[in-house]
């Protein structure tokens, strides 16, 4: 496997942990002193939304502060157009992302109506932006040192 592939897998694990609201899995991707900074890209002028420092704070935010999924609901991240640069044991990654809210319809008691076919529910984009982590290789494993999240939409906490 290539170094770029190993680095891209860290981002893939990150978005899956976010979708599952799995703070433990998320925190394990970061160095002990890892840091997350969030910004809203207000017309090209970044507005700070907050910062998390350390694995415990990151795990807590994912598990307890992210909006829970609705019944039959899920979030689904997609990441695109990753640009990866590696210099020795340090790497940077810059990837676009979109988060979708996926909610399945409740199957009616009498079954689906005549003529119904295919997936039943909605898929709606709810977030977009950029993930920009800096990673360090520690004992052969790539881990996130810092992560900038730049959101295209403002966020209410």
Per-residue pLDDT at 69 exceeds 90: no
The pLDDT value given to residue 3 = 87
Q: What is the pTM of this model?
A: 0.91
Burial-class residue 79 by CB neighbours within 10 Å (0-12, 13-18, 19+). Answer: middle
List of domains in the chain: 3-108+118-151 (3.10.450.50)
Mean pLDDT of 53-76: 92
Over residues 147-156, the pLDDT tens digits come to 999 999 998 8
For residue 130, give the 3-state DSSP assignment.
strand
Mean pLDDT of 38-52: 95
Q: Structure tokens of 12?
A: 């893939």
């Amino acid at each position: 496997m290539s170094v770029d592939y190993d680095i891209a897998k860290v981002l893939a694990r990150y978005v899956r942990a976010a979708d599952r609201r799995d703070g433990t899995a998320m925190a394990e991707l970061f160095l002990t002193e890892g840091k997350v900074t969030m910004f809203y890209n207000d017309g090209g002028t970044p507005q700070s939304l907050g910062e998390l420092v350390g694995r415990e704070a990151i795990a807590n935010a994912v598990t307890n502060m992210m909006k829970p999924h609705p019944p039959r609901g899920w979030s689904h991240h997609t990441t695109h157009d990753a640009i990866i640069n590696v210099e020795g044991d340090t790497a940077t990654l810059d990837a676009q992302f979109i988060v979708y809210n996926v909610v399945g319809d409740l199957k009616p008691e009498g079954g689906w109506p005549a003529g119904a076919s295919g997936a039943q529910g909605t898929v709606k984009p709810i977030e977009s932006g950029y993930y920009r982590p800096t990673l360090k290789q520690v004992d052969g494993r790539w881990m996130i040192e810092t992560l900038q999240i730049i959101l295209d939409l403002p966020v209410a906490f």
